């Protein structure tokens, strides 16, 4: 029994990767939404103690040269940093993840590997959904802590499905990233009614939790993600559901939903209030305009003062805490809410251009390779859409300040690096067994586990 379980968990392993490393990586993805500590430790084992053997080492990969130059530019920014010590500490949000991006790539060379990790991401995200729904429906708001505070579920913002994450946009962004992988799973088992029912239920609950966060940016992006992630047979149903929900939102906005409790349940008041602010900012009931609208001009002003090397990581925060910016105290607006702008302020425009070039190259190479090869179940499409979501979210906020998002971001781009390598195998290819020898042929059911 144990040997069969080990063989099953070892399936999808890329060549040159040990069983220990592959199991550690899967465990890290499973724990990623709920515990950055456990996920980080598992990832660390996968890329160090049980690192892949054979093939080029991380620093020997072609893209590593560009990342080394970027790291050098970021280190040079310490010479002009307002607070060098704080800036050096902030580099921990970047430099270790460059290494993670390069070192984890061998695990993601095969479509089967990427499909397996996409499944574990969904399984690990179930607590995010369940806790968020309990928070809204049952009023659960008691924070959960473990290991002396190393594991924390903050349960902030009562009445909104934030749950495990510290911010509303963080929860909504994470759930939005799950949508492409859920729709991919619908393709994996069309002939298994039980599995299909479980996936449909998970998709409905994920969408409900996303809507209950009332995150404006993620909810507005949801229709596009659904359309891009759906295959042709699903599109009529998706369009019908989107049209019906748009109708419910319209009824709620007109104020005609007071006699329909179901509409009030399906369309949160806070969401419609935010939509009202988009339609008519002057006449909205909530405070308008937002303080955040003044952040971009202030950020650009700081960038003009030091465009080449920036003012060091956490530079905007340093200036904000000094009281030199005309922002109200206590708003928590200690960053620019735009990763490109924040990165340019911290490290300069040349570093930003290089970072954008690296990410753009990875995305475009993966997209070109994806178009050349068949992707019948859409697992690689899910990774590509997830990368697009990550880029969009970071244009208007910085979810990567949460280490869970940071690890997931670089894992997604590493998957794109695997797609761009063109290492495509038939789904009937024999899998390496736990000892590294060829194992049994992977059946369709095993491939979906």
For the stretch 314-317, contacts whose Cβ atoms lie closer than 8 Å and that sit 24 or more positions apart, written own/partner, are 314/83, 314/86, 314/87, 314/89, 314/90, 314/346, 315/81, 315/82, 315/87, 315/345, 315/346, 316/342, 316/345, 316/346
CA 302 to chain centre: 29
Residues 305 and 230 placed together within one structural domain of the fold: no
119 domain residue, yes or no: no
Q: Is 135 in the same domain as 269?
A: yes
274 lies in the same domain as 312 = no
Tell me which residues of the chain have a pLDDT lower than 70. 1, 148-150, 190, 256-259, 261-262, 264-265, 276-292, 327-333, 376, 422-449
Do 274 and 371 have their domain in common? no
Q: Select from 289, 320, 338 the last residue of a domain.
A: 289
Quick: pLDDT tens for 156-172. Answer: 777 778 878 888 889 99
Q: pLDDT at position 149, please?
A: 63
Number of folded domains that form the chain: 2
Give yes or no: residues 349 and 244 share one domain. no
Q: Do 242 and 339 share a domain, yes or no? A: no
Residues 6+ apart with CB under 8 A from 24: 42, 43, 45, 46, 50
Residue 146 lies in a domain: yes
Residue 15 backbone phi and psi in degrees, to 5? -60, 140
Last residue of a domain, one of 289, 311, 335: 289
The answer to whether 323 touches 314, Cβ cutoff 8 Å, is no
Model pLDDT, residue 251: 78
Q: Please report the pLDDT score of residue 231 as a whole number.
A: 78
pLDDT at 447: 36
Structure tokens that stand for 55 in this block? 């093939």
Inside any domain, residue 14: no
Residue 439 lies in a domain: no
Domain residue limits at 311: 71-98+298-423
- pLDDT reported for residue 327: 66
> Distance between CA atoms of 448 and 186, rounded to whole angstroms?
11
Residue 431 belongs to some domain of the structure: no
Confirm if 253 and 284 have CB atoms less than 8 A apart. no
- Residues 264, 163 share a domain: yes
Give the span between the Cα atoms of 163 and 360, in whole angstroms. 33
Q: Domain for residue 221, yes or no?
A: yes
What is the rounded distance in angstroms from the CA atom of residue 442 to the CA atom of residue 73? 46
Residue 23 covered by a domain = no
Q: Give dist(CA 302, CA 337) in Å, integer.
A: 15
Q: Are residues 284 and 303 in the same domain?
A: no
Q: Are residues 248 and 380 in the same domain?
A: no
How far is 185 from 334, CA to CA, in rounded Å?
Answer: 39
Looking at the fold, whether 313 and 193 belong to one and the same domain comes out as no
Are 207 and 241 found together in one domain?
yes
Is there a single domain that holds both residue 252 and residue 329?
Answer: no
Residue 379 lies in a domain: yes
**Phi-psi sector, 147: left (phi>0), alpha (psi -120 to 50), beta:** left
Q: What is the pLDDT of residue 434?
A: 45
């Amino acid at each position: 029994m144990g040997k069969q379980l080990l063989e099953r968990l070892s399936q999808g392993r890329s060549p040159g990767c040990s069983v220990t490393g592959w199991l550690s990586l899967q465990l890290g993805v499973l724990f990623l939404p709920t515990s950055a500590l456990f996920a980080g430790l598992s990832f660390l084992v996968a890329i160090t103690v049980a690192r892949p053997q054979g093939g080029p080492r991380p620093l020997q990969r072609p893209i590593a040269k560009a990342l080394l130059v970027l790291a050098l530019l970021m280190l040079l920014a310490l010479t002009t940093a307002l607070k060098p010590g704080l800036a050096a500490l902030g580099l921990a949000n970047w430099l270790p993840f460059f290494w993670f991006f390069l070192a984890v790539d061998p695990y993601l060379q095969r479509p089967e590997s990427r499909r397996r990790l996409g499944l574990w991401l969904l399984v690990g995200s179930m607590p995010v959904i369940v806790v968020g729904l309990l928070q809204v429906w049952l009023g659960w708001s008691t924070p959960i802590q473990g290991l002396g505070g190393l594991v924390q579920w903050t349960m902030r913002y009562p009445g909104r499905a934030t749950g495990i994450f510290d911010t509303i946009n963080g929860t909504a962004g994470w759930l939005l990233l799950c949508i492409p992988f859920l729709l991919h799973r619908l393709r994996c088992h069309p002939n298994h009614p039980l599995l299909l029912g479980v996936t449909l239920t998970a998709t409905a609950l994920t969408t409900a939790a996303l809507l209950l966060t009332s995150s404006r940016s993620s909810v507005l992006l949801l229709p596009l993600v659904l359309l891009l992630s759906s295959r042709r047979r699903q599109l009529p149903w998706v369009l019908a559901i989107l049209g019906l929900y748009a109708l419910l939102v319209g009824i709620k906005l007109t104020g005609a939903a007071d006699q329909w409790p179901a509409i009030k349940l399906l369309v949160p008041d806070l969401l419609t209030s935010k939509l009202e602010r988009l339609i008519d900012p002057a006449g909205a009931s909530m405070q308008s305009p937002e303080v955040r609208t003044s952040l971009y001009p202030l950020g650009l002003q700081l960038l003009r003062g030091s465009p080449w090397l920036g003012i060091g990581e956490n530079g905007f925060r340093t200036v904000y805490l000094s009281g030199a910016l005309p922002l109200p105290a206590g708003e928590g607006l200690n960053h620019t809410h735009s990763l490109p702008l924040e990165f340019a302020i911290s490290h300069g425009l040349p570093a930003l251009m290089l970072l954008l070039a690296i990410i753009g190259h990875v995305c475009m190479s993966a997209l070109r390779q994806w178009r050349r090869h068949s992707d019948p179940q859409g697992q690689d499409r899910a990774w590509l859409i997830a990368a697009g979501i990550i880029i969009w979210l970071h244009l208007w906020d910085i979810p990567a300040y949460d280490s869970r998002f940071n690890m997931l971001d670089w894992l997604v781009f590493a998957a794109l690096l695997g797609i761009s390598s063109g290492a495509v195998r038939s789904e009937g290819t024999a899998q390496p067994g736990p000892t590294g020898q060829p194992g049994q042929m992977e059946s369709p059911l095993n491939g979906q586990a």
